[in-house]
Amino acid sequence: MENPENVIEVRNLQIDFHTYAGEVKAIRDVSFDLRKGETLAIVGESGSGKSVTTRSLMGLLAPNAVIKNGSIMFHGEDIIKKSEKEMQHIRGKDIAMIFQDPMTSLDPTMRIGMQIAEPLMKHKGLKKKEAIAQALEMLKLVGITNPEGRINDYPYQFSGGMRQRIVIAIALVCYPEVLIADEPTTALDVTIQAQILDLMKDLQNRIDTSIIFITHDLGVVAGMADRVAVMYAGKIVEYGTVDEIFFNPQHPYTWGLLNSMPTLDTEGGSLTAIPGTPPDLLDPPVGDAFAARSDYAMKIDTEKEPPFFKVSDTHYAATWLLHPDAPKVTPPAEIVRRQKKFAAMEKPEPPIKKETKE
Amino acid sequence: MPDERKKILEVHHLKQYFNVGKKDEVRAVDDVSFDIYEGETFGLVGESGSGKTTAGRSIIHLYEPTDGQIIFNGKDVSKLHTKAEMHEFRREIQMIFQDPYASLNPRMKVKDIVAEGIDIHNLAKDDADRTKQVEDLLETVGLNKDHSSRYPHEFSGGQRQRIGIARALAVEPKFIIADEPISALDVSIQAQVVNLMKELQEKQGLTYLFIAHDLSMVKYISDRIGVMHYGKILEIGPADEVYTHPLHAYTKSLISAVPVPDPEFERNRKQVVYDASREHDDKQRRMVEIAPGHFVRASEDEIPMYTKRAQEAGLVTDFPHN
C-alpha cells in the first residue's frame, strides 16, 4: 500500500465487455483510493462506469467482462488475482454491498432473521442459535420496531424502507471494513431516504467502516460524502473533497451536473440541461470524452486526452482548461456563485446532525 | 382575490376506495378536492402510497371513482356514458408515464407507437399525412425523423421519455397527466425533459398535472402545488410559497428531507419529523384558505395557529376566514 491510511487502492483499472457489437470499453484507466473511515462518493450518469467499478471490487463482474489492466489492492493483496473461492471469503465479510433495489436483493422465501444470520454462520462459524441472537441485535441497531416479533417474518411483510434497513443489517452484520452502497436510497421516498442515510452515517461511526457511495443524486452526495469522484464515460474526470467538488468544481462536466439541478434559489426560467447524450463506449471518442457536449471544448479536447491537473493537494481535475496556456473562461453563473462561496469559506466544521420534533 | 382564469379541471370530494366493504378496504384517495386552471402546471406531491398516482388515474377515468365529481372542461366525467363521449374525453386528456422502459411496447416501431392515438381517433387523412404527423411530432420532442422506423430498445431512457411525450401530443390534448415523468432519468437528462415539457406548454397552451415525489423539481416546474398524505390533500398553494413557507407540519417534514446539492447546507440540515398520529383525533377537518390561494387542511381550533404561521411568514396581514 502506498499510503497506510488507504483501505483500498485501485490503480489503472481497465475493463472491457465483450458484446455481439464489439468490445465496450466500460472502464478506461480508473485509479482511486479509499481511506479508512471515510465516505467516498462516486457520481456519474448511467453508463459512466460507476457500478462496474465497484462490482469489480466485489469480484462480481458479468461473465463477458474482461479486466484488461490494473490492480485493486486490499490488505496488500490484489483482488483481481483472487479466485472465486477466495473472493467468497472476502465478500460479505470484509467487503459488503448494498444494492439499489431492496425488493430484489432479499430472498423472498427466507425469513429475514435467517438472512441476517447467514453471513455470521458462513464467515464467523457461529452456531445457528448464536447467529440468530446477533441478528436480533442487528435488527435493533437498524431501527426495526418490535424486532423479536418480526425476526421470523418474510421480506414481503415489510415496506420498502424497512427492507432496505434489513439489507443494511445483512451487509453490516460481519462489521465489514468496506461497505459499497450502490444507489441505496434511489428507490425510496425522500423522508425514508433521509432516515436510511442517517442510519448509515450512524452505523459508520459505530463500526468504523469505509463507505463507497454510488449515486447520481448530488443532493445525497452533499450530505453523505467526505470526498467525491466524478465519473464520465468510463473515467474519473474530477475528484476532491466534498466542498472542493461542490464549491470549486473545475471540469465542465461537473459544472453541467451541478448546473442542471434546481437549487433552493432556482427561480423560473429554464434549467440548464447538458445537451446530447453520453458517448458510445464501443468506440470512445479521442481526447476529452465530454468535449462533444461541452460549451467550453477547445480544439485540443478532440485531439489529446487531458491529464489530471492539480488544483489542491486533495483536488484534481482532468480538463485542458486547467493548463497554464488555456484561455481564461467564465463558468456558468451558478458555478461562479458557488466559487464565490468557496473563496469566502472557512474550514468546515465537523458535521452535526440536528433534529427538531414538530 | 377572485381568480378570473378558466378552470379546466375541477375535482370535488373525490374518493377512490379499493375492496369496498371488505376487511382490507383501502381508501387510496379520500375526499380530495382541487381545481386546475387552464395553462398552468399543478404539482401533486407525496410519498409512495399517498394516493397521488391513484388520483391521477381516477381523473383520467382508468378507475371508476367511489364517490365525488370530476369536471373536465365543464363536463362531469362520470356522466360520459357513450363510447363517443369517452373517446373524445380520452383525446383531450393524455398521460405520460414514469417508466420509459415499461410504457413503450417493445415490439412496435416508434412510428406506430406515436401514431397509435392518431389511428384510433382517425386524425390522419392518409398514410402520407400519418407519416408527416409522426415526423413533425418527433421533431417537436427533439428526435429526428430517421428514428421513426426504430424500436424502443434502440433508445436511451431520456429519448424514450421523449417518445412517450410525442405519443401523448399526437392527439393534440389540452391536458396532460405526467406521472413521475423524470424519476427514472439521470440528472442531466431530467433537466432536458423538464425543459421540453415547459417549452411545449408555452407553445401549445397545455395544462399539466405533474405527479412526483421530487419536491425540488416539482417546485421548479409547477405554478401551484398540492401535498398529499394518506389519501388526503393537506396543503395547496402557490409553488414558491408552499416550498419556502410551508404551513402544514407534514409539508415541512417533506421539504426538510429533500437533499440539497450544497454540503454547507447539508451539514446544518434540520430534519423535521412528522408525527402522523395527530391527524387521528376524530376532529373534523376541511381545507381552509389561510392566506390568499393557500389552503391547509385544518380543524376549527387549528385555524388560529396556521393563521399565525402565515402572518409570521408575511403571507397575510389581515385575512378573513371563510
**Nearby residues of B51 by Cβ (< 8 Å), 6 or more positions away:** B16, B28, B29, B30, B32, B228, B230, B231, B232
Least confident among A109-113, A231-235, A288-292, B83-87: B83-87
pLDDT value at B18 more than 50: yes
Burial class (CB in 10 A: 0-12, 13-18, 19+), A68: middle
pLDDT digits (tens, 9 = 90+) for A197-212: 988 998 899 888 999 9
Q: Is the dihedral of CA B128, B129, B132, B134 positive or negative?
A: negative
Cβ contact (<8 Å) for A262 and B274? no
> Which residues of chain B have a CB within 8 Å of the CB of A198?
271
CA distance from start to end of chain B = 13
For residues B1-17, give the mean pLDDT: 85
pLDDT (0 to 100) of residue A264: 60
The pLDDT value recorded for residue B192 is 87
Residue B99 in this model has a pLDDT that exceeds 50: yes
- Is pLDDT at B1 greater than 60 in this prediction? no
**Per-residue pLDDT tens for B176-210?**
999 989 887 887 788 888 999 999 999 999 999 99
Contacts of B79 (CB under 8 A, 6+ apart): none
pLDDT classification of B41: cutoffs 50, 70, 90: very high
- Rounded to an integer, what distance in angstroms lies between the CA atom of residue A266 and that of residue B175? 26
Give the Å distances, CA to CA, from B306 to A61, B58, B89, B251: 55, 31, 39, 13
Q: What is the pLDDT of residues A120-156, one digit of tens each?
A: 999 999 999 999 999 999 999 888 889 999 999 999 9
Q: Is the pLDDT of residue A345 over 50?
A: yes
- Mutation target to probe the B interface, by most B beta carbons within 10 A, among A261, A335, A353 is A261
Q: Where are the domains of chain A?
A: 105-175, 244-312+321-346
pLDDT, position A358? 46
Residue B322, pLDDT score: 47
Q: ipTM score here?
A: 0.81
Is residue B33 within 8 A of residue B233, CB to CB? The reply is yes
Q: What is the pLDDT of residues B131-153, one digit of tens each?
A: 999 999 999 998 888 889 999 99
How far A232 CA lies from chain B's nearest CA (Å)?
Answer: 12
pLDDT of residue B317: 66
Query: How many residues are recorded in chain B?
Result: 322
pLDDT at B82 (0 to 100): 85
Residue A270: pLDDT band with limits 50, 70, 90: low
As a whole number, mean pLDDT of residues B210-230 equals: 90
User: What integer pLDDT is reported at residue A234 of this predicted model?
Assistant: 95
Least Cα separation, residue B136 to chain A (angstroms): 20
Q: What is the pLDDT of residue A347?
A: 58
Confidence of residue A185 (pLDDT cuts 50, 70, 90): confident
Residue B256 CA to residue B272 CA, distance in Å, equals 6
Report the distance separating Cα B290 and Cα B306, nearest Å. 7
Residues of chain A with pLDDT > 90: what percent? 68
CB contact under 8 A, B188 and A263: no
Distance of CA A198 to the CA centre of its chain: 16
Task: Please state, in angstroms and rounded to a whole number, the distance separating the CA atoms of residues A358 and B274.
Answer: 6
**What is the β-pairing status of strands B207-212 and B26-37?**
unpaired
- Helices B157-169 and B187-204 pack at an angle, to 10 degrees, of 20
**In this structure, what are the phi and psi dihedrals at residue B71, rounded to the nearest 5 degrees?**
-110, 115
pLDDT for B230-280, tens place per residue? 999 999 999 999 999 999 999 999 998 888 889 988 988 888 888 877 777
**Contact map slice: A 9-48 vs B, CB within 8 A:** 45-46
> pLDDT at residue B50 above 80?
yes
Cβ separation B191–A355 shorter than 8 A: no
Q: What are phi and psi of B269, to 5 degrees?
A: -60, 135
Q: Specify the pLDDT at position A186.
A: 81
The mean of the pLDDT values for chain B is 89
Q: What is the DSSP string of B207-223?
A: EEEEEES-HHHHHHH-S
**Among residues of chain B, what percentage have pLDDT more than 70?**
97
Which residue in chain B is spatially nearest to A198 when comparing CA positions? B271
Give the gap in angstroms from C-alpha A128 to the nearest C-alpha of chain B.
37
Q: Among B97, B106, B204, B201, which residue's Cα sits nearest to residue B152?
A: B106
Question: How many Cβ pairs closer than 8 A exist between chain A and B?
Answer: 144
Q: How far is A353 from chain B (nearest CA, A)?
A: 7
Chain A residue numbers touching B156 (CB-CB < 8 A) = 277
